[in-house]
Structure 1
Amino acid sequence: MMKYVPVYALLLIVFYTTCKGQPKTNLPIDLIKSQPKEAITSSGPAQITRTIRQDRKGNIWMAAFDGVFRYDGTSFTNMTRNVSSARFFSALEDRKGNLWFGSIGSGVYYYDGKSFRNFTTRDGLLNNEIVCIYEDKIGNIWFGANGGVSRYDGKSFRNFLLKEDSMADDRTGKTFPDFTRPPHEVNSIIEDKTGRFWFGTRDNAYTYDGNTFTVLTHQGQPFINVRTIIEDRKGTIWLGGTNGLWRYDGRTFTNLTQHFVGYIYEDKKGNLWTSSETNWGWALSRFDATTLSNKTPTVTELNPREGRMIFGILEDDKGNIWFGADGVYRYDGKTVTDFKK
């Protein structure tokens, strides 16, 4: 059994869950003029918010079902209202300061601070349903899609397809049909300190050494429906999904919780935050950094009283914890602010 410290009571939050060709090296430039000044609003997203990121300038970016929102500390701007009506799932700021947004059905939108550029299957992207985005150590951008992964080197896409119980490099330019989600989404991608890649999918989880994909297993059983994989500052790998929260120290897998875990996030102090199911609903939980190597780490559950599913988690540069649900929320250590109002 896990050790719990006293529970913090949060404000009431009601979550409405609604819930061809060959790859080309000379990609067509599909620029879309953005008009963010016309979409300034006093409130944030009002629908499911899947990913929250903070850029190097301090702006908070939210990928939501009703658009991509930017919060500058004072007001929100729906950056894609005049660009796309797609539902957005994922967001990334790359090392050059450019932003990437993954949508469901409309591919990827690249934003250089002035205009948007749209990448889809016609440019070589595996699929137009993009669930997660990751930048590796050498600057390649990886897109976790329905049906596999696309890697973009700045010129062209290289695709890796999920095939039954395996993942494999595909050089044929084959694309995966849109709007068949789930069950083949790639939910999470990381590159660890050794250069090995980890992929969490709704099917199996995989590692990739640059040549071979290997199904991730524990005692002969594969990890199924892994939603999040992270590597913490000590090099420990954490996995969350259908089988709960798992810790991998380089030798051994250890199960810490058995309830479904959707997201995992490490804050600046080394604490882990998760969004997970409980016996009564959903919780935003904080695992104390000093106890993470214990068999029973100390956990504080932040309990939305009628909360349903919680999505992406972020700690901003002021130490506030942001999380997504039916909109975006900010927790300052005492209270929760709902930005729909």
Structure 2
Amino acid sequence: MKYISGLLFIFIFYASCGQNQTSVPKQNNRSHRSGLSESQLKEAAASKIPMSMVRNVRQAKNGDILIASYVGVYRYDGTSFTNMTSTIEWPTFWDVLEDRKGNLWLASQDSGVYFQPAGQTSFKHFKAKDGTGISSALHIYEDRAGNIWFGASRYDGKSFRTFTTKDGFPSNNIRLLLEDKTGKLWFGAQGENMFVYDGKTFTVLKNEDGKAFNNVWSIIEDKKGSIWFGANGLWRYDGRTFTKVSQRDAYAIIEDKKGNIWTTGGVTGQGWALSRYDAETLYNENPTVTEIMSIKEGALLGLLEAKDGSIWFGAMGPESQVYRYDGKTLTDFKNEEGRE
């Protein structure tokens, strides 16, 4: 990966998580951040399954599903759930990642980063006062060189570095990033413009109307090399042109094995939905969209396609938990039953 010499980022995350059209409920305190009352949070913390806000869902190398639930990070082995963080008091987890070496990383909203070396069961806690520069982390990303990123803070295997505007970086509020196949870095910033770095220059991305893309929550690269992102709707960039694919917001985006695009996000006036865009019609003026699930209250959040092709996604609010969709049945783990 190409990096700017001497570049330092600051990773600043704050309570508001709003999108331009449909906002994730405000996070003024613990209950608001999770979408649950204090009594519900205590119940969720004692539960054997994820019952609080699930921001992100990942998969381990062995196929286990890793679930970043607000009050615990869970592992699902295909049969049962295990809370891997039951000994951590009142965590506020947002993301989880098993890196290529088998190490486990956890990102928390207000208490830094947790690290579990491969083969071990205990966690090391990295906090801002330890020199990491990380007091809050919402996303974890591993680049092609094996560096681990927490928004705008990077761990190179030995130490953490934070990057700031003092070194020429265009924002202090970086939330997430993507390294594309050509080595370019795409950045989404909290409440600010989306940028791309080509190894020499930072460029603010703008649509054909000259408007910058603001408050981006998700960026992916598909098999064709096109960049998809959510910014007041679902957008695609093919290397030359920005196309607004849908008015539906895109909090999370994935491409499945068949080339379909899946999103979670707000639908104006209708709440939040899990949507699938048919691969064969993606480049049509009006691509075919199938709404798999919708909710009026709360939000649908992180997305994963598991190795078996099932789609996993998280939710917050009254529907707080993790769901699995196998193409026919939507599994609600709270009720331990499938819903057609």
The counterpart of 1:320, out of the listed 282, 307, 310, is 310
2:323 match: 329
Letter in 2 for 1:142: W
Q: 1:272 to 1:205 in 2, by over 3 A?
A: same
Q: Whole-Å Cα distance in 2 between the matches of residues 305 and 134 of structure 1?
A: 29
| Structural mapping, 1:250-265, within 5 Å | 250-265=239-254
The match for 2:103 among 84, 95, 98 is: 98
Deviation at 1:57, TM superposition (A): 0.5
- The residue aligned with 2:92 is 87
Structure 1 residues 273-308: Cα deviation after superposition (integer angstroms, max 9, x where no partner): 001212321110001112222222111111335453
Number of residue pairs matched by the alignment: 286
> What's the CA shift for 1:311?
0.6
Is structure 2 residue 86 aligned with structure 1 residue 67? no
Which residue is equivalent to 2:290? 300
Per-residue displacement from partner, 1:153-176 (whole Å, max 9, x unpaired)? 11122212368x9636xxxxxxx9
In the TM superposition, residue 49 of structure 1 has moved relative to its aligned partner by 0.2
What is the aligned counterpart of 2:230 among 230, 235, 240? 240
Matching of residue 189 in structure 1 with residue 177 in structure 2: yes
Distance 1:337 1:42 in 2: 18
CA gap of 1:94–1:281, structure 2 versus 1, over 3 A, is same
TM, length-normalised to structure 2: 0.78
Separation of aligned partners in 2, 1:88 and 1:210:
32
Match of 1:229 in 2: 219
* Pair 1:55 & 2:44 matched: no
Task: Tell me how far 1:340 sits from its aligned partner.
Answer: 2.5
**Partner residue of 2:170?**
167
CA RMSD of aligned residues (A): 2.4
Q: Deviations over 1:189-220 (max 9, x none)?
A: 11001101111122111112344433222232
- How far residue 51 of structure 1 moved from its aligned partner, in angstroms, is 0.6
Is 1:108 aligned to residue 113 of structure 2? yes
- Report the AA paired with residue 331 of structure 1: Y
Alignment partners' CA distance in 2, 1:305 and 1:64: 19
- d(CA) in 2 for partners of 1:339, 1:161: 42
- 1:199 corresponds to: 187
Q: Distance in 1 between matches of 2:134 and 2:281?
A: 41
1:150 aligns with 2:153: yes
CA offsets 1:91-119 (integer angstroms, 9 cap, x no match): 11211111111001111111123121121
Alignment match, 2:41: none
Tell me which moved more, 71-80 or 208-217: 208-217
Higher relative contact order (CA 8 A, sep 6+): 1
Separation in structure 1 between the aligned mates of residue 92 and residue 33 of structure 2, nearest angstrom: 14
Distance in 1, matches of 2:295 and 2:327, equals 17
Measured in 2, the distance between the counterparts of 1:304 and 1:43 equals 26
Residue aligning to 2:338: none
Q: Any stretches of 5+ residues in structure 2 without a counterpart?
A: 1-31, 36-44, 336-340
Amino acid at match of 1:289: A
Q: Does 1:135 align with 2:142?
A: yes
Partner residue of 2:15? none
Q: Secondary structure of 2:280's match? A: helix
AA in 2 matched with 1:251: R
Deviation at 1:17, TM superposition (A): 7.7
Q: 1:249 to 1:329 in 2, by over 3 A?
A: same
Distance 1:328 1:69 in 2: 10
Tell me: CA distance 1:209–1:236, structure 2 relative to 1, closer, same or farther (3 Å): same
In 2, Cα distance between equivalents of 1:84 and 1:216:
41
Structure (1/2) with the larger strand percentage: 1
Verify the 8 A CA contact 2:48 2:83 in the aligned structure 1. Answer: no
Which one has a larger percent helix, Structure 1 or Structure 2? 2
Quickly say closer, same or farther: Cα 1:214–1:116, change in 2 above 3 A.
same
For the 8 Å contact 2:265–2:301, the answer to whether it is kept is no
Q: Aligned partners of 1:262, 1:222: CA distance in 2, in Å? A: 18
CA contact 1:196–1:208 (8 Å) conserved in 2? yes
Cα pair distance change 1:17/1:125, threshold 3 Å = closer
Secondary structure at 1:122's aligned position in 2?
helix
**1:121 aligns to what?**
128
- Report which stretch shifted further, 123-132 or 91-100: 123-132
Given the two structures, how large is their TM-score scaled by the length of structure 1?
0.78
Taking the aligned partners of 1:273 and 1:265, their CA distance within structure 2 comes to: 5
Unaligned runs of 5+ in 1: 1-15, 20-39, 169-175, 177-183
User: 300-309 or 98-107, which moves further after superposition?
Assistant: 300-309
Is residue 266 of structure 1 aligned with residue 230 of structure 2?
no
**Residue identity opposite 1:140 in structure 2:** N
Partner of 1:208: 197
